[in-house]
Amino acid sequence: MKPKSHITIEPGLKISAQMDAEPSEEDFSFARQMGVVYAVAWCSPDNASPKYYRH
């Protein structure tokens, strides 16, 4: 069984930035200037729910 994805990502190595759970526009701007296309955001267990990510 192949997992379904809502986005298509080209194969190969990806460079990402680990960002705060609620990054500022300055954080995004810095990542873009560094050529980063992908980001990973970590949050506390209290906020680890679909409801939190939809706001």
* Residue 11 pLDDT exceeds 80: yes
pLDDT of amino acid 1: 62
Report the distance separating Cα 55 and Cα 46, nearest Å. Answer: 14
Q: Tell me the pTM.
A: 0.55
Average pLDDT over residues 17-38: 88
| Residue 6 to residue 52: CA distance in whole angstroms | 19
Q: Looking at the predicted structure, is the pLDDT value of residue 47 above 70?
A: yes
Q: What are phi and psi of 43, to 5 degrees?
A: -135, 170
